[in-house]
Amino acid sequence: DGDGTMDCVDACPADSEKQTPGVCGCGQIDIDVDSDGTPDCIDKCDHWPQKIAPGVCGCDTADVDADGDGTMDCVDGCLGDPKSSPGVCGCGVPDVDSDGDGTMDCVDVCPNDPNKDVSTGFCGCGVSDVDTDGDGEPDNCDDGCDTDPNKIAPGLCGCGYPDVDLDLDGVVNCQDQCPADNLKTAPGDCGCGVPDTDVDGDGVSDCIDGCP
């Protein structure tokens, strides 16, 4: 190769630039353009002295993880935050679902109630909006008669009994001993439907007075 070294002692007899293979082998110059100590032939970033391989960020960007979350800054969507992407709640706010209902706390109006997420409902967080009797009033907060579909409060007669006044005398049937007699609320001497009249004023109702 005319390099002045006899072939018998020249490890690169066909390469006039080298007598030994060096790092890059015969036929290839051991040059280090970026002077980082790694020859270009094995330096994947031969023009960037800080790196010899692209890594995550490429040759011209350092693989730095400033917040220590294991994601390089160049691909970290939340620098300075243990999160690497905004997620549902955004950077700086953890994507936590305390009640396990599938809705993150940051957007869950009832973060500790697994049965409610986007609304507190009628009864509020932590209280079921169940309507057992189907009257449109939840059992636990608005319905005082949760098994009576016709009432939401006991009223005068209690749950399960209608507050009806058939004879329109102002006394509900459940308290009216003569529910079909609008003149009486108790049988009296003569019974329902018969007035306790005392024509002669002797203190004895006509219905039982032998001489009314």
Q: Which residues contact 203 (CB under 8 A, 6 or more apart)?
A: none
Q: For 88, which DSSP code?
A: T
Tokens found for residue 155: 């009223």
Q: State the Cα–Cα distance between residues 159 and 148, nearest whole angstrom.
A: 6
Q: State the Cα–Cα distance between residues 153 and 165, nearest whole angstrom.
A: 17
Q: State the Cα–Cα distance between residues 143 and 104, nearest whole angstrom.
A: 31
pLDDT at 157: 96
pLDDT at 3: 87
Burial class (CB in 10 A: 0-12, 13-18, 19+), 208: exposed
- Distances, alpha carbon 86 to alpha carbons 54, 77, 98, 107, 111, in Å: 26, 7, 18, 14, 19
Q: State the Cα–Cα distance between residues 120 and 78, nearest whole angstrom.
A: 32
Q: For 67, which DSSP code?
A: T
Q: What pLDDT, in 10s, does the model give residues 12-62?
A: 999 888 889 989 999 999 999 999 999 999 999 999 999 999 999 999 999
**Mean pLDDT value of segment 87-93:** 96
Tokens found for residue 101: 């209902």
Fill in the amino acid letter for 44: K
Kindly state the percentage of the chain with pLDDT values over 90.
73
Q: State the Cα–Cα distance between residues 119 and 116, nearest whole angstrom.
A: 6
Q: Which residues contact 195 (CB under 8 A, 6 or more apart)?
A: 183, 184
Q: What pLDDT, in 10s, does the model give residues 91-120?
A: 999 999 999 999 999 999 999 999 999 899
